[in-house]
Amino acid sequence: MISSGNIGLRARHASDVQVLQSELYDDVVTRSRADSRPWQPIAPGSEHSPYAIGEPSDDAACFSVVELPAGELAGEALLWGIDTHNRAAHLGISLRPDFRGRDLGTDVVRALCHYGFVVRGLRRLQIETLSDNLPMIKAATRAGFTLEGTLRRSAWVYGAFADEVVLGLLSEEWQARP
């Protein structure tokens, strides 16, 4: 387990799948804001669930987030689009509704940075999020990310186009932090 502050990142357990599916995926509006792909209904227990346990992949690392010390499932976190040639990846998190607003996001971002920079040897991590996703922007900037730009009206979100922001962090910036 990789931990930071009040959270830990661990492998997905079979018991996590249905909880994440019902609380994160089946909330159509929230899922539409979190994923650039269109929402589609997926039956409980389907192998097509984005939370289904699969084989390890070279281009993505998916974790369950647990709140410590109790180990209660708090959400999901992932590095995706891992590019081993350019040593870069994208970062994403999603917390269950009961765990939002508890300042866990920064710890999750820091744990993913540790995994990306220390364990995987990456040089750059990037976050793309909707410009009104203030909790994610706050968590990222607290973890050391720099706002690099705005992609105007680049995301189709539940019936309208929305702006996205891009935040980036380089390994040397991460290592320079206390």
**Distance between start and end Cα atoms, the chain:** 22
Q: Give me the number of domains the chain comprises.
A: 1
The CATH number of whichever domain residue 124 belongs to comes to 3.40.630.30
- Smallest CA-to-CA distance from 169 within 147, 150, 154 is with 147
- Cα 122 from Cα 161, distance rounded (Å): 32
Domain of residue 37, residue span: 2-176
| Stated length of the chain | 178
Quick one: average pLDDT of 120-145? 97
| Whole-structure pTM value | 0.95
In tens, the pLDDT along 105-114 reads: 999 999 999 9
In tens, the pLDDT along 96-132 reads: 999 999 999 999 999 999 999 999 999 999 999 999 9
Quick one: average pLDDT of 150-160? 96
Quick one: average pLDDT of 73-98? 97
